[in-house]
Amino acid sequence: MPKGIIFNIQKFSIHDGPGIRTTVFLKGCPLNCRWCANPESKSAEEEILYTQKTCLHCSSCVAACPAGGLHFDENGMLKFSKDLCTHCMSCVAACPSHALTVEGEEYTVEQVVEEAMKDQPFYEKSGGGVTLSGGEPLLQKEFTLALLKALKKEGIHTTIETTAYTEPEYFKEVLPYIDLLYTDVKHPDDAMHQKMTDVSNERILKNIRYAIEQGKELVARVPVIPRFNHSVEVAEKYAILFQDLGVKNVHLLPFHQMGQGKWEALGLDYLYENDKNMKKEEVFEMRDVLEKAGLNVQVGG
């Protein structure tokens, strides 16, 4: 059985599909969204996060690195030489204040299913199941397909939170094992989508159309982002697009800052550090446009 890289298994989730669910977060994403709330999910490999405020600057990690890949700069920030890192995690083990942590762990399909089955009584009572999230769970193709097959063999309801950015051939192969899709549509305009995610939305829209044609339950999710897609004009474009695709249900997800600290811990520049959390009321105009077009709209996940 194939193995996958997972950065979290969250129990008793109630916002990632119907009922009480176990949400499995897989690492790796082909999109590079500038506002990503889970930047630790971008890379498909294990990663080290550094939290400066808990760092003692004792240099235990520097001494522990066999490749000499760590040093402190003039501002007291720990710097990594990624080309030297062998992922031995000696630096993490040596850190007395846990300023260094590891994101990502290898799991087999059997291990994930075993963990999920512990909560089967809750699934049965609440109509819940297992949700695959990320990152982009369809990026780890072999593992995700095998995991979904194994879950369905156990009679578990499966939901996937996906960008749907994958080869149509693979999407067709994996779709029969998915009961519900939460599919992000970052922007209706391809040029804007490419500008802020580094990929075209063409493949995404093709896969969404196919899933709906196959009778799959699908919810289109729109992360509402300042200076990107937060406007009535864009909402009108979404309305036309969703009507064309056959989308019936839409979730509008107001921008939040929950991922900012993780961008800093990864040493990444965050474009939205000065933006405030959006209130639900700020997306009501977009909601009204979509509802007027005959769509069922929910604000929030």
The domain spanning residue 140 has which CATH number? 3.20.20.70
Same domain, 113 and 240: yes
Domain hosting 91: range is 47-103
Same domain, 56 and 147: no
Tokens 């950065």 appear where? 7
Picking from 82, 103, 124, the residue at the C-terminal end of a domain is: 103
pTM: 0.88
pLDDT tier at 298, thresholds 50, 70, 90: very high
Query: So what's the pLDDT on residue 283?
Result: 97
Domain tally, the chain: 2
Same domain, 124 and 63: no
Is the pLDDT reported for residue 166 higher than 80? yes
**How buried is 51 (Cβ within 10 angstroms: 0-12 exposed, 13-18 middle, 19+ buried)?**
middle
Q: Give CA 216 to chain center in angstroms.
A: 21
Cα-Cα-Cα-Cα dihedral sign, residues 57, 61, 66, 68 = negative
The pLDDT > 70 percentage for the chain reads 100
In whole angstroms, give the CA distance from residue 267 to residue 255: 22
pLDDT tens, position by position, 29-44: 999 999 999 888 888 8
Is the pLDDT reported for residue 263 higher than 80? yes
The CATH number given to whatever domain includes residue 91 is 3.30.70.20
Q: Give CA 162 to chain center in angstroms.
A: 7
Is the pLDDT reported for residue 109 higher than 90? yes
| Contact (Cβ atoms closer than 8 angstroms) between residue 286 and residue 224 | yes
Query: So what's the pLDDT on residue 246?
Result: 98
In whole angstroms, give the CA distance from residue 285 to residue 262: 31
Same domain, 143 and 54: no
Is the pLDDT reported for residue 265 higher than 80? no
Same domain, 91 and 156: no
Same domain, 177 and 53: no
Picking from 55, 76, 103, the residue at the C-terminal end of a domain is: 103
In whole angstroms, give the CA distance from residue 204 to residue 278: 26
Alpha-carbon distances, residue 150 vs 106, 197, 248, 251 (angstroms)? 17, 32, 30, 29
| Contact (Cβ atoms closer than 8 angstroms) between residue 33 and residue 41 | no
Same domain, 194 and 54: no
Same domain, 51 and 151: no
Picking from 78, 103, 128, the residue at the C-terminal end of a domain is: 103
In whole angstroms, give the CA distance from residue 181 to residue 220: 8
Query: So what's the pLDDT on residue 268?
Result: 82
Same domain, 262 and 162: yes
Of residues 272 and 83, the one with the higher pLDDT is 272
Question: Rounded to the nearest 5°, which phi and psi values hold at 133?
Answer: -135, -170
Same domain, 207 and 253: yes
Query: So what's the pLDDT on residue 200?
Result: 97
pLDDT tens, position by position, 65-75: 999 998 998 88
Query: So what's the pLDDT on residue 234?
Result: 98
Of residues 265 and 25, the one with the higher pLDDT is 25
Q: What is the mean pLDDT of residues 253-271?
A: 87
Q: Give CA 220 to chain center in angstroms.
A: 15
Is the pLDDT reported for residue 92 higher than 80? yes
Same domain, 54 and 156: no
In whole angstroms, give the CA distance from residue 244 to residue 251: 17
pLDDT tier at 51, thresholds 50, 70, 90: confident
Query: So what's the pLDDT on residue 102?
Result: 87
Query: So what's the pLDDT on residue 77?
Result: 86
Same domain, 38 and 70: no
Helical (H) or strand (E) element with 91: helix 90-94
